[in-house]
Structure 1
Amino acid sequence: MRELAGRLALRPTKQRGQNFVTDANTVRRIVAVSGVGPDDVVLEVGPGLGSLTLGLLDVVERVVAVEIDPLLADALPATVASRRPDRAAALTVITGDAMRIEDLPRPWPTAVVANLPYNVSVPVLLHLLATFDSWQHGLVMVQAEVADRLAASPGSKIYGIPSVKMAWYAETTRVGTVPPSVFWPVPNVESGLVAIRRRPIPETTASREQVFRVIDAAFAQRRKMLRSALSGLVGSSAAASAVLQAAGVDPQARGEVLEVTDFARIAEQIFS
């Protein structure tokens, strides 16, 4: 990996969250825990120098890699061709920002497996869930603190906006920790592995955008009771109390104790 980086004159940047996995056993572990197999088309975001890409190509039908850095995107096909020439045709590389990708080549992905950049991991993941509904399962590696938040349950101190919005789309489970020592450059935090399994979105007459507006308002000031936190959406604390009671939610509760289905019922009352 370092030899390849040297040939490319690559200088990893914090701006793009470039920390590359250099340990082969970690790559094998990520691929194994992800549960992908020979029938999967995997969407990988931020393949970097290609260590995880090569590991995925060992077991899946095809990998579609989205890389924002043109230098790395241009180098990846050659890396795969030199290391696994028999699998080179199974790789598609898209140069671009994963947050702006709206279409992908067929066949569409059935899974997402990625080492997501720390600074944009949550918005990227939510964008992929919202935009490409063909993928049903996956595994992402993110900063350990973010992994905990993504998988947090109602009532937890770390349960918040990422937790609830993920629950709109999928069941998430914290399935492992990855030490800083397996990366280059070495980050100053641990990473966490989060397994994702998509499930049907809640049955509701409210739109996703409406439900997410309620979630954002509920957690804008965590210490506030919901009747106060939602007053800006409905005009007053008294109006918010009426909405919450109609939705079957205690007006004195806080957002951190609500399920995603509770937020959906509140949105129905506000926006119907």
Structure 2
Amino acid sequence: MSTLKRTNNLISKYNLRINKDLGQNFLVDDEVVQRIISEAEVTDRTCVIEIGPGLGTLTFPLVEKCKKIVAIELDKSLSSILLEEIKEDNFVLFNEDILKIDMNKVIMEFDKNDEIIVISNLPYYITTPVIFRLLENNFNIMHYVLMVQKEVGKRLTGKPKTKDYNALSVLMDYKTKTKYAFTVSKNSFKPIPNVESAVIKMKYLPVDLNIKNDEKFLKFISDIFANRRKTLVNNISASYHISKTVLNEYLEKNKYKITVRSEELTLINIANIYKGLFENE
């Protein structure tokens, strides 16, 4: 049965009202489903954490293909439908919020040496908080394959000196190896959203920058991108009350232009500037 037909059947069978407040747009494109599963490198040894399974577009084929799948779904109606429709022993569902659930409880559903991956069609309004949550503690997850808004996908994989490069791009460079896998047309969803989507593949792979205080460094990354129209000096001065004269002298001494903007700097540049200003005292 095609994904579109199954989705329509379930909506009709359970008289389901789509909750737009939860960003519910169900993927109904079989080709995209297969591309996601292929990108995720799912085998019969793979264990999957699926965030936001919705009406099971990915869940149904994953149950047949992987060793075990643990789904996390906030919507009570969708959770009830999935539990009614999927009776396989390798399927577990938590009707909880991904931003609040105890992830240790989720991980305990798997065996110690299981190969665990995360697959998700994220509601766009929680994309960034979810990614931050996943990166807080990786739990030895092999990789993540996430559907996000196209614009966000571009930012997550943005490179210096491009319009897509921002604080999130730097964070991803610092904590992960992330690639933009492919674009997904808005016509691949029901109901049709206003924007296109993208699938990204992310592996937790932190870069050792010899940073003493990671929390302060992450704040620094955010602060220097606070206003893209301002120079690096102006952004740092505004956030840390360091005089522009001192900052200009520091940049010139370290062979940076005093007019440099944050989007021109690589992760290594940013780390070196941060350490020079705050950790080499």
- Normalising by structure 1, what TM-score? 0.88
In structure 1, the residue matched to 2:8 is: 2
Other structure's SS at 1:110 match: strand
How far did residue 242 of structure 1 move?
5.2
Q: Does 1:255 align with 2:257?
A: no
Is 1:264 aligned to residue 271 of structure 2?
A: yes
Whole-angstrom distance in 1 between the partners of 2:25 and 2:255: 46
Task: Give the partner amino acid of 2:276.
Answer: Q
Check conservation: 1:140, 1:195, Cα contact below 8 A. yes
8 A Cα contact 2:177 2:205, kept in partner: yes
Once the two structures are aligned, what percentage of the paired residues are identical?
A: 30
Alignment of 1:169 with 2:171, yes or no, is no
Per mean C-alpha deviation after superposition, the further-off stretch among 245-254 and 131-140 is 245-254
- Inter-partner Cα distance in structure 1 for 2:99 and 2:257: 36
CA 137–212 in structure 1, closer or farther in 2 if over 3 Å, else same = same
- When Rg is computed on C-alpha atoms for both structures, the one with the higher figure is 2
| 1:228 corresponds to which of 231, 234, 250 | 234
The answer for the alignment partner of 2:107 in structure 1 is 105
Verify the 8 A CA contact 1:20 1:183 in the aligned structure 2: yes
Deviation at 1:244, TM superposition (A): 4.9
Secondary structure of 2:36's counterpart equals helix
Q: Which residue of 2 aligns with 1:40?
A: 46
**Are 1:247 and 1:265, in contact at CA under 8 Å, matched by a contact in 2?**
no
Q: In structure 2, what is the Cα distance between the partners aligned to 1:91 and 1:248? A: 57
Q: Which amino acid aligns with 1:99?
A: L
Name 1:63's counterpart in structure 2.
69
Considering only aligned residues, what root-mean-square deviation do their CA atoms show, in Å?
2.2
Matched residue, 1:118: 124
CA–CA separation in structure 1 for the residues paired with 2:181 and 2:131? 17
Letter in 1 for 2:215: E
What runs of 5+ residues in structure 2 fail to find an aligned partner?
A: 1-6
2:142 to 136, 149, 161: 136
Contact between 1:67 and 1:94, CA under 8 Å: does it hold in 2?
yes
CA contact 2:149–2:197 (8 Å) conserved in 1: yes
Residue 187 of structure 1 aligns to a residue whose secondary structure is coil
> Which of 5, 20, 37 lines up with 2:26 in the alignment?
20
Q: Structure 1, unaligned stretches of length 5 or more?
A: 82-87
Q: CA deviation at 1:113?
A: 1.1
Cα distance 1:167–1:101, how it changes in 2: closer, same or farther (>3 A)? Answer: farther
Q: Whole-Å Cα distance in 1 between the matches of residues 25 and 40 of structure 2? A: 20
Which of 164, 185, 210 is 1:204 aligned to?
210
TM-score of the pair, normalised by structure 2: 0.86
Q: Which amino acid aligns with 1:89?
A: D
SS in 2 for 1:27: helix
Report the equivalent of 2:85. Answer: 79
8 Å Cα contact 1:202/1:261 also seen in 2: no
Contact map agreement 1:50 1:79 (CA 8 A) in 2: no
1:246 Cα offset (Å): 7.3
Q: Secondary structure at the match of 2:198?
A: strand
